[in-house]
Structure 1
């Protein structure tokens, strides 16, 4: 038996995992039956593969090799040899780690060849790499290839960093469709006049690229449907007159409709929103994150919620003054509690424990979804707070006792809860 094991060890397949064995087939070009060719500037590059493996991973390759083609050679004209080789390696092994640029190329090829597993896996990895410098590029990718999860995460990031994104070089490079997605968001919270001006700057750059005169009419055409997601009716009358009307970007009829809305909003709002005359939204944009302020000395609050939101957690006031005495006095502080949305029978639990002071924010164990409606939600809260103290410090600073009694009477329903943090749900 030992002799047989020794003999087997001379073969390359022994002790390799499935992905390692398939990788060896690709790297060594063993028993290949298809060749991909690339015409580069310098020469023709060839990459060899295995029909059965490729067909097992991609319906496109299956149709190509077993239903349509008789040739053993395939010319690739829309990918570089380097990116295609990485894509094949991913198909063969599922285990390769890629940098950001390589991930983008593999995602494009995974979409082209309908490899859903790789598409989901690597677009998810891209979502984890989102930052200010690349979020617009990744949004372009997500919109073009219809990658919903990546698009949603890119939009959430943009909503949370609006001013930085507007001033970034990436904003000037977004596609028309991506611009439409950005502008459509109710939670893209920014001064509308500034947003209009940045969009005109974006459109002027597109005019230069297409050798068009940078007229406002041309800029509007390049924005396409995205123009109608600018919230021009929400501008003040002075800003609208000074900065919008004078550009002649609107027709006389469109401009008149907005003037009527500014003077008689209740009569014309439905007309504007219907798109019969002008579909620029009359709804102001909302901050992505906001707070339900908690009234002092009360265990309940009414929350008017006109749009869908998620309740995220509790925000706290500073409960310990910033000096050496109070910082060293408190230890083993804990807070637990719940709030109840009575008319929909929802309960949210929160709890925190820290060695010196409570945090500024305590998340809920499970966030709560509230549907937008015209009548307010009634929210009640109940909390308990416990703390031990450093006796030696307490004896040195007797005034801390007064602070303790003032800030935490009875340690029940303490008055240092500032409010409930919530996120407006994006309408994209």
Structure 2
């Protein structure tokens, strides 16, 4: 098939056993656009006399409009009275679209929805079979049943056309998988990958495992690892299943303080008690957590955090609390069921955009003016902070306001102090949480430094830098009022996770 078009033929919304999930389906039919016999040999129509052309044209237009309305409104009795309704639509695509959800020529019906709330939906076996191998087997396979009505009690109808959005995409993916429509499933996965964030990464991780989408699973892990604390504190984290919870708590590369991990686990346990209709006592929280509690690396907390947090949370037994205290303080440490090795987390990468640095007398002072540069990447990364130049006149302290913007809209900012030792090395300043950066979009990195000493500055700047598998591009920013640009200045490094 050299040329083709996709047509939306039928839409369903399906219910599933997964919690809080609506499911819908959009079947896509691949039809050829090459010329058909009906277009080569159209139905013969009478040509009106020339004298009556004007009135006939007006009458014909009104009639066609009326006939189109009948077809679109599923008025089959009126449509049958139209001997050549096909002539009302010039292309095969339009004629096929008229059949969508239309009783005309329907040879199967779906009774959709639970008892007491059903809806009868017309369908066309050939169209459905071409769009889905499941329907092909149902209607034309060896075990096909010649049923005019098919009951689907576990789904509910979805009336309007589907526009992929966060509220419908998981449901659409579920149905695309169920009815084996790979093109639609791929579109759903692409949508999910581009809309991934710390807020939904945990839920999508759970769903990606259910739908067996390894690429999506990997993208979810990238977000969860880099923005672990945001992901753990998200509402979506409380909605995941036990297996996904254990996978996250077991994760070696999780970039999070262990106290945040414990708080997230307790929040999940509270939600799980609600789902199981259990009272939210600390005993029940420990019950629903089960062995997952031992995946929290409590002994790696600072002693103060343990004493003021985990030890008083009630989730640990008295024996566990006592043993962990001994593990902190005693020379002869007891054996623990908890892992005592800190998580490795993610190693930050640095994109250095200058080939050399320098300092000159009376140059690169800071009087509260902005140093700024724009950058773009070719794959998703997470900016954790900037590397900045420090004093060229010995040790000094600076106050820095760092900011990251997309199209003029602030995404993250932080005011922080850093100490430089007088060397030409860069000094890292960090955002509170890593910031997700999407590919092929320019972002603005800015810093306002306040200090009395002159600093080093970069020279021989590069417009493009390759860092591992990520390519960074740089361009000048109109926000820069202190001299920083592509060729020289401040913000020599972008610190990121990828």
Give the TM-score normalised by structure 2.
0.51
Question: Who is 1:286 aligned against?
Answer: 345
Q: Which runs of structure 2 are paired with 1:79-118 in the superposition (5 Å)?
A: 79-82=155-158, 97-118=163-184
Q: Which runs of structure 2 are paired with 1:316-327 in the superposition (5 Å)?
A: 317=388
Measured in 2, the distance between the counterparts of 1:131 and 1:349 equals 21
1:80 and 1:280, CA in 2 relative to 1: closer, same or farther beyond 3 A?
Answer: farther
Measured in 1, the distance between the counterparts of 2:471 and 2:145 equals 64
Query: Which residues of structure 2 form unaligned runs of 5+?
Result: 1-39, 46-83, 359-380, 391-445, 450-458
Question: Who is 1:369 aligned against?
Answer: none
Give 1:296 shift: 12
Measured in 2, the distance between the counterparts of 1:130 and 1:217 equals 35
Q: Which runs of structure 2 are paired with 1:24-39 in the superposition (5 Å)?
A: 24-39=98-113
Give 1:196 shift: 0.5
Measured in 2, the distance between the counterparts of 1:21 and 1:225 equals 60
Contact map agreement 2:111 2:121 (CA 8 A) in 1: yes
Secondary structure at the counterpart of residue 421 of structure 1:
strand
Question: Who is 1:380 aligned against?
Answer: none
Measured in 2, the distance between the counterparts of 1:200 and 1:354 equals 47
Give 1:208 shift: 3.8
Contact map agreement 1:176 1:224 (CA 8 A) in 2: no
Measured in 1, the distance between the counterparts of 2:99 and 2:329 equals 70
1:39 and 1:239, CA in 2 relative to 1: closer, same or farther beyond 3 A?
Answer: closer
1:46 aligns to 2:168 (yes or no): no
1:290 and 1:256, CA in 2 relative to 1: closer, same or farther beyond 3 A?
Answer: farther
Contact map agreement 1:313 1:350 (CA 8 A) in 2: no
Give 1:14 shift: 4.8
* 2:90 aligned to which of 8, 12, 15: 15
Q: Which runs of structure 2 are paired with 1:414-425 in the superposition (5 Å)?
A: 416=490, 418-419=492-493, 421-423=495-497
Give 1:61 shift: 2.4
* Structure holding more strand per residue: 2
1:258 and 1:288, CA in 2 relative to 1: closer, same or farther beyond 3 A?
Answer: farther
Measured in 2, the distance between the counterparts of 1:352 and 1:112 equals 45
Give 1:338 shift: 8.2
Aligned residues: 333
Q: Which runs of structure 2 are paired with 1:268-417 in the superposition (5 Å)?
A: 278=337, 280=339, 282-284=341-343, 286=345, 289=348, 291=350, 317=388, 335-336=461-462, 352-354=474-476, 416=490
Secondary structure at the counterpart of residue 97 of structure 1:
coil
Secondary structure at the counterpart of residue 47 of structure 1:
strand
Give the TM-score normalised by structure 1.
0.58
Contact map agreement 1:334 1:358 (CA 8 A) in 2: no
Measured in 2, the distance between the counterparts of 1:314 and 1:161 equals 13
Measured in 1, the distance between the counterparts of 2:153 and 2:134 equals 16
Q: Which has the larger radius of gyration?
A: 2
Measured in 2, the distance between the counterparts of 1:142 and 1:211 equals 27
* Structure holding more helix per residue: 1
1:249 and 1:77, CA in 2 relative to 1: closer, same or farther beyond 3 A?
Answer: farther
